[in-house]
Amino acid sequence: MLALEGVRKTYRGSEVLHGIDLRFDPGTTVVIGSSGSGKSTLLRLLAGLELADAGRVVAGAGVLGPENLIAHRRRLGYVIQEGGLFPHLTARQNAMLMARYLGRNVGWTRRRLETLAGMTHLSAALLDRYPAELSGGERQRVALVRALMLEPEILLLDEPLGALDPLVRFELMPELAAVFETLGNIVVFVTHDLGEAAYFADRLVLMHDGAVAQSGAFEDLLERPASDFVSRFVRAQRPRREDRPAPAA
């Protein structure tokens, strides 16, 4: 189980999350919103990188706090924009880093890497390259393998495709979707792109000004918007020629 219950978060006297109530079940929940809406802060709270000022984050059978942060982080995989790979390590070393740090069996680690590399279409030759020698899409695949290495119960992704060019993003999306489907775990995916959200989401959560504007299927936002903001957000990401202003007389 993973949930936010009445969660509030303040930075420098300004509240950026206003009493968030969300439960995350197995499947892919996509959190979407414009810059400053609170979506990345929400993800950091779920990851235990930040602690709530009010309310609580429930992870597994307990409330997340200083006493169980390390155990919680070992239950999850976390992928950030552009991958966050260590430049002085090869892709293989990056992927195996936490397994080695935690003393996992070497044979198990190698077999796990082989399985994940096959799942994400990473060849042995690519795994022996350094991040600077990989394309953006390849670096994201390596970051995903690293996040999945310890068989996490929860996978958190903070705009993992945001820095990629459109063609690379288009080619990587089906592979990511297949991985999520294979996992069957809790996946929370943050993006600002509505098309990306519609592609991945079992459930979509639209954030606005630190609150949940609407939660549900993509079709709900499209056909049954909960507010004028939701309608405007959808239209802004789906511009049509007929929305262009008429020429001046």
Residue environment code for 107-141, b if the CB has 16+ CB neighbours within 10 A, otherwise e: eebeebbeebbebbebeeebbeeebeebebbbbbb
Asked if pLDDT for residue 129 goes beyond 80, the answer is yes
Asked if pLDDT for residue 148 goes beyond 60, the answer is yes
Per the listing, tokens 């069996």 go with 105
Given this model, what pLDDT does residue 160 score?
A: 81
By percentage, how much of the chain surpasses pLDDT 90? Answer: 51
Given this model, what pLDDT does residue 248 score?
A: 60
Residue range 48-88, pLDDT digits in tens: 999 999 999 999 878 988 888 888 888 899 988 767 899 99
**pLDDT-derived band at 245, boundaries 50, 70, 90:** low
> Within 14-135, where are the H helices?
39-47, 69-73, 91-101, 106-119, 124-127
Question: Would you state the structure tokens that stand for residue 40, as one six-digit string?
Answer: 């990345």
Given this model, what pLDDT does residue 71 score?
A: 87
Strands 14-24 and 2-11 come out as antiparallel
State residue 156 phi and psi, 5-degree precision: -115, 130
Length of the chain as a residue count: 249
Higher pLDDT, 32 or 165: 32
Residue range 166-221, pLDDT digits in tens: 887 787 788 888 888 877 789 999 998 888 899 999 999 999 999 999 999 999 99
* Domain boundaries, given as residue ranges, for the chain: 77-152
Given this model, what pLDDT does residue 32 score?
A: 94
